[in-house]
Amino acid sequence: MELVADRTAAEDVLLFVNAAIASTGQREFHSDADAQQWSMEFLHEYMLVNYRDLYAATLTLGVNDRNAAAIIMRLLQSGRDASPEQRAVEGRLIAKALTELPTHRVYHLFTALRKARVNNRRTRAIMREWLAARPDPAFEAVKYRSAFLGAIRHAHMKVEDLPSEELEAFLFGWHAAGRFDTPQFETWRRAHFDRRAVFELPYTVAEGFAAKHRITRAEFLEKIAPQLTRGERLRLQRSAARFGAIGIAADVAGLSRMPLTRLAAYVLALPVEEREQRRLELTDALRAAARRVAGLRAGTWGRVAAVLDDSYSASGSSEKRRRPLVVALAAHFLLRELASAYHPLWLSGDADPIMARARGVTALGERILDGLEERPDLLVVVSDGWDNAPVGMAAEVLRVWEERLDSERKTAVAHLNPVFDAAGLQVRRLSPTTPTVGIRDAEDLPELVEFARFATGRTGIAELRAHIDSRVERWLTEETPCTA
Amino acid sequence: MHRLTFDGLQARPGQVWGGVRLVPLVRDEPILSLRLHPSGFPDDDPLGGYEPRCCYAPHGLTAEWTDDGTAVPALGTALRMPATTVHKSRRPKTRLERRTRVRFVPHQTALEAFLPLTFQGPTIAWREWSTRVYRRGLPRSEDPRHIGYDVEGLADALRVFEIHPGQCGVLVYIADALASAVVTPHPDDYRALHPTLVEDGFGELIWRYAHLYGEVPDFRPHFDESAIDTIADLRTAIDAAQGEWADFHENAMASGLLDAEYVFTGDYQMNQYTLRRFRPHFVPGREAHVGEAITDDDGRLAYLRTFRLSETQSRRGRLLRTLSDCDWNVEASAESMGIAAPVLVARIDAAGYGSLFRQDVLDHFRAMNARFAG
């Protein structure tokens, strides 16, 4: 009886981790945003109530930013239910997780905490600690003005504690303050009446002022170009070209510095002709990015085959355009670097990854068999798991393969699923015995394949707990000592 | 030709979404000398097509073909020839020598228009029928019509459906009842038509099924693992599962469409292709599909579009067929159906065709029925 409970617990935790890695609460191909959010909320609540310490520990397992913020929010909301020891660990985990989250996510979280009226002592302390450790509060005060102000107020913080002059005047009385000595504040003040100052502000702030000064989009994009971050620059390239702002469009050198998955998304968003023209450049950039991710692990994985899903459902949704296909493409380049011998198999049978497009059916069964035929050391399947030609063929092939053709288990099979199935409350599995893990960014692929051994449904909670504990241990020892 | 066949077309595994099952049909080799394009009706021609009321229908379909068998450019860039021809059209004849284009009855009007169109009005002026019938023909019955958006789950099922490579058709099952079938000559045609399927009309029966039945089961393959020792065996098993499904589909699932005999009318021939309309024999208790088909000289199906009639509609069809078989003689029709004349009149009245009779005749029969019932 205990065994069953044990397994259930392990399954629950894995199910949550997979979902929290893959789901972003956005619309997917098969389910809409509401369903995704509702399902995720249910899983969060379930985990919090039943496995609180493991729930906090999932922050170390690479859950995506949205779910990390949701976990922190729930932990802070329900501090009363936790024991003092739990609270101590949680506090450290949260502090560490906040330093890893992107800045805007954290301000978003603080605003959410404020709206939900979560204002316990622990929350205030955590917010204060995070705010005090910011390297450039003046910049953030300008860029995230209202969220910053809200956070300061909500945390009952004294502005003087922050290492920045004039912050109080900037936040609470800039009308009466006159000129600032801090250049960022002064630029912001001048931008209210001086067109030229607008172009010295961060892009997101300047956008609002540009509307106020009735600056045309073309002029705005042309002049704001030096202030853009790398992500903004890449995102605006196409629309800038449309408006005739050449300053942004010409920048291609940035490609080689892009993270792998971002780069794959960028490549797949290009029109087919452009991909054809820039084939060499794009391939080189993708390979370089993959090499950076692989690092020392390059070439150590032995013979690897990959079944990559480019069926129509890989086109994602209007909110996550081509996301499953993007992950498949990035995984393709990464596995190529990791393996000593690599054999990619796209579902459509195409051999040209740069020209990949989402089309056709998901006939996983035959493709998996093609991959297994050469008996590789590892078979990776990157697919949303909607095996539909026919339904269940992949499961049947994998079952017979394991029972009859590879009883010594020489070939490891791992299924990476970039899509959370809201209706099934989990990432879709290929077969009961094949490990399935969620994936958000292809960069996490090596860790996830390692983690996949837990996802077969045969491990108990003790083993899993040991793994997670060691993860937490490792994560927290990297902890940066807090200044406050 | 009395039956429909899917020669040259193979069924691939169906995709299920809720109560909707879409079974793709894949063609061995696409037909290139006949292509379709959904150009609708030309703007300068508001009264073109089959009837004026077709103008606003979104499904005006047009077929074009070439003489030498070369491929017509794909949809969107298709040559637009000025020649238009419709069987028995009141428009002046086109001046072009060859007519290379034909229009279809739009789907929206098909369900209600099909039956009266295939059965013309009375040819002998029996005294029972009102003069209006001779002047205007059969009236259109106003059935509640349900377009695809109203059929629960169909829009989503079509949205998430993954089109097979080489797919030239689809069979739409709602709660595993065949609702309609579409076959096109070329995969690109199908790809272009796929999004429009949700605007098709469906009978009340299908609409009701979609509401009543939530889920249909998947057909999962199962292999006997003891018989599989090598990878080649596994491949054979996969192929066998594929063939098994195709056979099962043709013999069991689509049998209502394929096994039934049809009456083909309205031959319209051009080059090697023949356009026909077909209607069932209205056997009680059987599926009734009406539709249009284009076949080539070898009998190969190039285009097909069917609609499933609901029970009410097929009852009405049965009445019209009997009447037209007996030259609209009420006594003879009643005799051939094995019922009394007043009962037949009551049925015709219930089917919505009461206004065909002269008012005094109808009243007379109604009174007879009332007396009999009383």
Question: Does B13 contact A389 at a Cβ distance shorter than 8 Å?
Answer: yes
What would the 3-class secondary structure string for A286-350 be?
HHHHHHHHHHHHCCCCCEEEEEECCCHHHHECCCCECHHHHHHHHHHHHHHHHCCEEEEEECCCC
Which pLDDT belongs to residue A18? 93
Q: Does residue B230 surpass a pLDDT of 60?
A: yes
Neighboring chain B residues of A348 at a CB cutoff of 8 Å: 165
DSSP string, A430-447: S-TTS-EEE-SSGGGHHH
**Any CB–CB contact under 8 A between A35 and chain B?**
no
DSSP string, A43-58: HHHHHHHH-HHHHHHG
From A70-74, A232-236, A296-300, A340-344, the region with the lowest mean pLDDT: A232-236
Which pLDDT belongs to residue B114? 56
What total of structural domains would you count in chain A?
Answer: 2
In a domain, B313, yes or no: no
d(CA B35, CA A184) in angstroms, rounded, equals 65
Question: Does A373 contact B160 at a Cβ distance shorter than 8 Å?
Answer: no
pLDDT tens readout for residues A72-114: 999 999 999 899 999 999 999 999 999 999 999 999 999 999 9
Compare CB distances from A390 to B219, B231, B235 and report the shortest one's residue. Answer: B219
In a domain, B4, yes or no: no
d(CA A189, CA A174) in angstroms, rounded, equals 8
Question: Does A405 contact B16 at a Cβ distance shorter than 8 Å?
Answer: no
Same domain, A131 and A198: yes
Nearest chain A CA: its distance from B51 CA (Å):
39
Non-local CB neighbours of B302 within 8 Å, separated by 6+ positions: B31, B34, B183, B185, B273, B294, B295, B296
Q: B18: which DSSP letter?
A: T
Question: Among B226, B297, B242, B287, which Cα is nearest to B262's?
Answer: B287
In a domain, B132, yes or no: no
Question: Does B220 contact A397 at a Cβ distance shorter than 8 Å?
Answer: no
Which pLDDT belongs to residue B120? 64
Question: Does A400 contact B222 at a Cβ distance shorter than 8 Å?
Answer: no
d(CA B218, CA A396) in angstroms, rounded, equals 14
Q: Does residue B92 surpass a pLDDT of 60?
A: no
Same domain, A55 and A142: yes
Which pLDDT belongs to residue A105? 96
Same domain, B342 and B287: no
Same domain, B81 and B162: yes
Which pLDDT belongs to residue A251? 59
Same domain, B355 and B288: no
Q: Does residue A71 surpass a pLDDT of 70?
A: yes
CA A443 to chain centre: 10
Partner residues linked to A307 by β-bridges:
A345, A381
In a domain, B128, yes or no: no
In a domain, B303, yes or no: yes
- Find the radius of gyration of the CA atoms of chain A: 25
Most confident of A162-171, A268-277, B274-283: A268-277
Q: Buried (b) or exposed (e) across B1-19, using 16+ Cβ within 10 A? A: eeebebebbbbbbbbbbbb
Question: Does B241 contact A390 at a Cβ distance shorter than 8 Å?
Answer: yes
What total of structural domains would you count in chain B?
Answer: 2
Same domain, B359 and B242: no
From A151-160, B214-223, B224-233, B289-298, the region with the lowest mean pLDDT: B289-298
Same domain, A181 and A294: no
Polymer length of chain A: 484
Domain containing B245 equals 9-121+142-307
d(CA A144, CA A133) in angstroms, rounded, equals 16
Query: Please, which pLDDT band fits residue A353 given cuts at 50, 70 and 90?
Result: very high
Same domain, A178 and A284: no
In a domain, A256, yes or no: no
Nearest chain B CA: its distance from A404 CA (Å):
6
Q: B305: which DSSP letter?
A: E
Question: Does A404 contact B228 at a Cβ distance shorter than 8 Å?
Answer: yes
Which domain-ending residue is among A169, A194, A220?
A220
Q: Does residue A364 surpass a pLDDT of 80?
A: yes
From A134-138, A413-417, B346-350, the region with the lowest mean pLDDT: B346-350
In a domain, B268, yes or no: yes
Q: Which amino acid is present at B229?
A: D
Same domain, A332 and A445: yes
Same domain, A323 and A453: yes
**Any CB–CB contact under 8 A between A163 and chain B?**
no
Query: Please, which pLDDT band fits residue B326 given cuts at 50, 70 and 90?
Result: confident
Angle, nearest 10°, between helix axes A279-294 and A260-269?
160
Same domain, B257 and B154: yes
Neighboring chain A residues of B221 at a CB cutoff of 8 Å: 390, 392-393, 396
Which pLDDT belongs to residue A258? 86
Question: Does A366 contact B219 at a Cβ distance shorter than 8 Å?
Answer: no
Compare CB distances from A29 to B13, B160, B222 and report the shortest one's residue. Answer: B160
d(CA A246, CA A196) in angstroms, rounded, equals 20
d(CA A114, CA B253) in angstroms, rounded, equals 59
Which pLDDT belongs to residue B243? 92
In a domain, A238, yes or no: no
Between A191 and B195, name the one with better pLDDT.
A191
Between B269 and A26, name the one with better pLDDT.
A26
Same domain, B225 and B342: no
d(CA A315, CA A327) in angstroms, rounded, equals 11
Chain B residue with minimum CA distance to A349: B165
Same domain, B205 and B345: no
Q: What is the mean pLDDT of residues A201-207?
A: 95
Neighboring chain A residues of B225 at a CB cutoff of 8 Å: 399-400, 403-404
Neighboring chain A residues of B249 at a CB cutoff of 8 Å: none
The pair of structure tokens assigned to A362 is: 């998901």
CB A340 within 8 A of CB A370: no
In a domain, A254, yes or no: no
In a domain, A461, yes or no: yes
Question: In a mutagenesis test of the A interface, which of B20, B21, B190, B238 is the best target, namely the one with the most A β-carbons within 10 Å?
Answer: B238
Which domain-ending residue is among A220, A252, A284?
A220
**Any CB–CB contact under 8 A between B224 and chain A?**
no
CB B203 within 8 A of CB B290: no
Matching residue, tokens 């989250």 = A101
Which pLDDT belongs to residue B279? 82
Q: What is the mean pLDDT of residues B264-285?
A: 77
CB B238 within 8 A of CB A373: no
pLDDT tens readout for residues A282-335: 999 999 999 999 999 999 999 999 999 999 999 999 999 999 999 999 999 999
Chain A residue with minimum CA distance to B165: A360
Same domain, B280 and B369: no
Compare CB distances from B163 to A360, A372, A396 and report the shortest one's residue. Answer: A360
Same domain, B38 and B94: yes
Compare CB distances from B234 to A312, A348, A369 and report the shortest one's residue. Answer: A369
Same domain, A199 and A124: yes
pLDDT tens readout for residues B42-72: 333 333 332 322 222 223 344 444 444 443 3
Which domain-ending residue is among A220, A251, A271?
A220
Same domain, B363 and B221: no
In a domain, A158, yes or no: yes
Three-class DSSP category at A376: coil
Q: Does residue A347 surpass a pLDDT of 50?
A: yes
Which pLDDT belongs to residue A304? 95
The conformational region for residue A7 under phi > 0 = left, psi -120 to 50 = alpha, else beta, is: alpha
Pairing of strands A378-382, A303-308: parallel
Which pLDDT belongs to residue B167? 93
Question: Does A392 contact B220 at a Cβ distance shorter than 8 Å?
Answer: yes
Q: What CATH number is given to the structural domain containing A412? A: 3.40.50
Q: What is the mean pLDDT of residues A55-60?
A: 94
Between A287 and A458, name the one with better pLDDT.
A287
**Any CB–CB contact under 8 A between B43 and chain A?**
no
**Any CB–CB contact under 8 A between A46 and chain B?**
no
The pair of structure tokens assigned to A252 is: 């291609």
In a domain, A66, yes or no: yes
Query: Please, which pLDDT band fits residue A479 given cuts at 50, 70 and 90?
Result: low
Q: What is the mean pLDDT of residues B73-96?
A: 37
Q: Which amino acid is present at B312?
A: T
Nearest chain A CA: its distance from B325 CA (Å):
47
Q: Does residue A232 surpass a pLDDT of 50?
A: yes
Q: A390: cis peptide before it, omega within 30°?
A: yes
Query: Please, which pLDDT band fits residue B75 given cuts at 50, 70 and 90?
Result: very low
Non-local CB neighbours of A62 within 8 Å, separated by 6+ positions: A21, A440, A444, A447, A448
In a domain, B56, yes or no: yes
Domain containing A270 equals 261-477
The pair of structure tokens assigned to B232 is: 């080649």
Q: CB contacts < 8 Å between A and B, how many? A: 79
The pair of structure tokens assigned to A156 is: 């009952």
pTM (2 d.p.): 0.86
**Any CB–CB contact under 8 A between A419 and chain B?**
no
Q: Which amino acid is present at A124?
A: R
Q: B82: which DSSP letter?
A: S
From A209-218, A336-345, B354-363, the region with the lowest mean pLDDT: B354-363
pLDDT tens readout for residues A374-398: 999 999 999 999 998 889 999 999 9
In a domain, A319, yes or no: yes
Q: A81: which DSSP letter?
A: G
% chain A with pLDDT above 70: 96
Which pLDDT belongs to residue A3? 77
Same domain, B182 and B69: yes
Partner residues linked to B181 by β-bridges:
B171
Same domain, B274 and B336: no
Find the distance separating the first CA and the last CA of chain A, reported in whole Å.
49
d(CA A357, CA A337) in angstroms, rounded, equals 22
Same domain, A214 and A271: no
Which pLDDT belongs to residue A282? 92
Three-class DSSP category at B80: coil
Which pLDDT belongs to residue A422? 92
Which pLDDT belongs to residue A253? 60
Nearest chain B CA: its distance from A319 CA (Å):
16
Q: What is the mean pLDDT of residues B312-321?
A: 83
Q: Buried (b) or exposed (e) across A23-51, using 16+ Cβ within 10 A? A: bbbbbbbbbebebbbebbeebbeebbeeb
Query: Please, which pLDDT band fits residue B285 given cuts at 50, 70 and 90?
Result: confident
Task: Give the HSE-up count for residue B222: Cα atoms under 13 Å, Cβ half-sphere.
Answer: 2
